[in-house]
Amino acid sequence: MGEFWTRKYAPKSTAQIIGQDSGINLLKNFVNNFPRKKACLLYGPPGCGKTSSAIAIATELGLELVELNASDFRNAAGINSIVGAASKQMSLLFKGKIILVDEIDGIAGRQDRGGVQALIKLLSESAFPIIVTANDPFASKFSKLRKSCQMIQFEELKYDTVVKVLREICTKEGITFDKEGLEGLARRADGDVRGAIIDLFILTRIDNKLSKDELEILSDRRHVVGLIDGITRILKTKEVAIALSALNNVSENIDEVLLWIDENMPKEYKKAEDLARAYEALSKAAVFKGRIRRRQHWRFLVYVNALLTVGISLAKDEKYNHVVKYDKPSRILKIWIYNRKNLIRKGIAEKLASVTHSSKKYAFKETVPYIQVIYRNNEKFRQELNESLELDDKEIEWLKGSPE
Ligand SMILES: Nc1ncnc2c1ncn2[C@@H]1O[C@H](COP(=O)(O)OP(=O)(O)OP(=O)(O)O)[C@@H](O)[C@H]1O
Ligand SMILES: [Mg+2]
């Protein structure tokens, strides 16, 4: 779906790739001067046009684009039939190809897994130019590879480039947009055009329009990535040091982290005992969190952090090796918001029950709504109640505002 637009609006030629002039020039030179260098390595952040450029240049030059991935390197015979031998280039029946080895970031350092060594061997034998792409080619496992390739950097796309791409799509799709909406979307993308296009697609499904309001629906990409990274560390590791620092870069409020862990923990922890221990840590964290709120006792934050990180990490007997896709909390969020609202009402009811000598349940159901009406309309009563019940800000806010 979203992928559909990124394909529909994929650059058809190198001229349509915006903001990468220097990279495109180097790429053209590389192909034209082949075999001076056997391979080039396009590197740069996600969604900046690396794969698109490889496809576009092959199309432009009328060459067949053959894509290889890491596991292909293991099969020598198969590989040879694709990349050919250097001599074949002389043949009259020679049909030109470009070999693309896309996204090597995850490739193994070891040859027996179809790793970097095998790729380097392939580069030296190929009769065709090879384009390799990576987000981060500076990992140590790539040090030899870097020497065999011409390194070509692709820039993180500038904000106004992203705006330009989005505006064009809006126009072609007949989408109404305002400046703020378009710019907000581009800013969120962080240079990732692909991400921005997918967001645009999702946001305009309902009424074919993009405005600032629609943006609120999207949670900040970076924010979500940070949270997923944090909980992945917690759930995957059993090392105290790694767990303890897992939330360091997650500046978000603890309530949100609690929700995320609550949502994803059962996906990772499959043994009942692990899950039980983990939930114990989680619920203790929630209790301390509540005490912070009620008593403004910030010292408890240390416990909350320890319980959420190490407490949950060490709740498992051993690490799980399965691959799990973590996701943002959905259904739970609504229940939680509802409970939180009630929590304030419950707190007020408790206080009322003690001064009116009635049951908490009665105060919750009967007294609070009654009190609330007077509270909203009578300044003097408001002040008296604030003092006699020692109401905190949240409770005052709730009494004043909650429409019930
Ligand atoms: N420089 C650009 N100019 C125009 N459109 C772009 C550009 N970069 C990316 N896009 C759009 O984003 C989509 C994805 O780009 P592409 O697949 O080339 O990114 P990439 O650099 O290979 O990213 P990754 O590192 O994630 O593989 C393209 O189909 C195109 O619609
Ligand atoms: Mg790519």
Q: Given this model, what pLDDT does residue 331 score? A: 52
Mutation test residue for ligand 1: of 194, 200, 201, 221, the one with most atoms within 8 Å of CB? 194
Q: How far is CA 179 from the centre of its chain?
A: 25
pLDDT tens, the chain, 404 aa long: 445 788 889 999 999 999 999 999 999 999 999 888 999 999 999 889 999 999 999 999 999 899 887 777 777 677 777 776 554 554 455 568 899 999 898 887 777 677 888 889 888 888 899 999 999 999 888 999 999 999 999 999 999 999 999 999 999 999 999 999 999 999 888 888 988 887 888 777 667 888 877 776 665 556 777 788 899 999 999 999 999 999 887 766 677 788 889 889 999 999 999 999 999 999 999 888 888 777 777 778 888 999 999 999 999 999 998 888 887 776 555 555 556 667 888 889 999 888 878 888 888 888 888 888 888 888 888 998 998 889 988 889 888 875 44
CA dist list (Å): 369 to 241, 344, 346, 351, 373: 50, 13, 12, 14, 7
Q: How far is CA 258 from the centre of its chain?
A: 18
CA dist list (Å): 154 to 3, 56, 105, 221: 22, 15, 15, 21
Q: Specify which residues 150 forms β-bridges with.
A: 40
Among the bound ligands, the one closest to the CA of 136: 1
> How far is Cα 328 from Cα 331, in angstroms, rounded to an integer?
10
DSSP per-residue string spanning 279-317 = HHHHHHHHHHHHHHHHH--TTHHHHHHHIIIIIHHTTSS
Both tokens of residue 201?
């697609």
Residue 200 Cβ inside 6 Å of ligand 1? The answer reads no
Residue 198 Cβ inside 6 Å of ligand 1? The answer reads no
End-to-end CA distance of the chain: 41
Residue 47 Cβ inside 6 Å of ligand 1? The answer reads yes
> How far is Cα 199 from Cα 142, in angstroms, rounded to an integer?
33
User: Residue written as tokens 């995957």?
Assistant: 236
Judging by DSSP bridges, how do beta strands 97-101 and 64-68 pair with one another?
parallel
Query: Residue 14: which of 98, 75, 124, 134 has the closest Cα?
Result: 98
Q: Given this model, what pLDDT does residue 280 score? A: 93
CA dist list (Å): 399 to 53, 229, 372: 60, 39, 6
Q: Given this model, what pLDDT does residue 404 score? A: 42
For 20-153, CATH number? Answer: 3.40.50.300
Question: Quick check: 313 and 234 in contact, CB under 8 A?
Answer: yes
Query: Residue 20: which of 205, 134, 166, 155 has the closest Cα?
Result: 155
Q: Given this model, what pLDDT does residue 2 score? A: 46
- Residue 156 CA to ligand 1 center (angstroms) comes to 11
Residue 137 Cβ inside 6 Å of ligand 1? The answer reads no
> How far is Cα 106 from Cα 245, in angstroms, rounded to an integer?
24
- Residue 17 CA to ligand 2 center (angstroms) comes to 13
3-state secondary structure of 177: strand
3-state secondary structure of 39: strand
Q: Please, which residues have CB within 8 angstroms of residue 381's CB and are 6 or more apart in sequence?
A: 374, 375
> How far is Cα 167 from Cα 291, in angstroms, rounded to an integer?
49
- Residue 174 CA to ligand 1 center (angstroms) comes to 22
The helix (H) or strand (E) run that includes residue 75 is none
For 159-215, CATH number? Answer: 1.10.8.60
Q: Given this model, what pLDDT does residue 48 score? A: 93
Residue 165 Cβ inside 6 Å of ligand 1? The answer reads yes
- Torsion, CA 389, CA 390, CA 393, CA 399, rounded to 10: 10
Q: Please, which residues have CB within 8 angstroms of residue 329's CB and are 6 or more apart in sequence?
A: 259, 260, 262, 263
Side-chain half-sphere exposure of 249, counting CA atoms within 13 A: 16
Residue 103 Cβ inside 6 Å of ligand 1? The answer reads yes
Residue 84 Cβ inside 6 Å of ligand 1? The answer reads no
- The amino acid at residue 37 is K
> How far is Cα 229 from Cα 326, in angstroms, rounded to an integer?
10
The helix (H) or strand (E) run that includes residue 52 is helix 50-60
- Torsion, CA 321, CA 107, CA 64, CA 78, rounded to 10: -80
Residue 195 Cβ inside 6 Å of ligand 1? The answer reads no
Q: Whose CA is nearest to atom 27 of ligand 1?
A: 46
> Hey, how many other C-beta atoms are within 10 angstroms of the C-beta on 336?
16
Helix axes 331-356, 254-268, angle to 10 degrees: 130
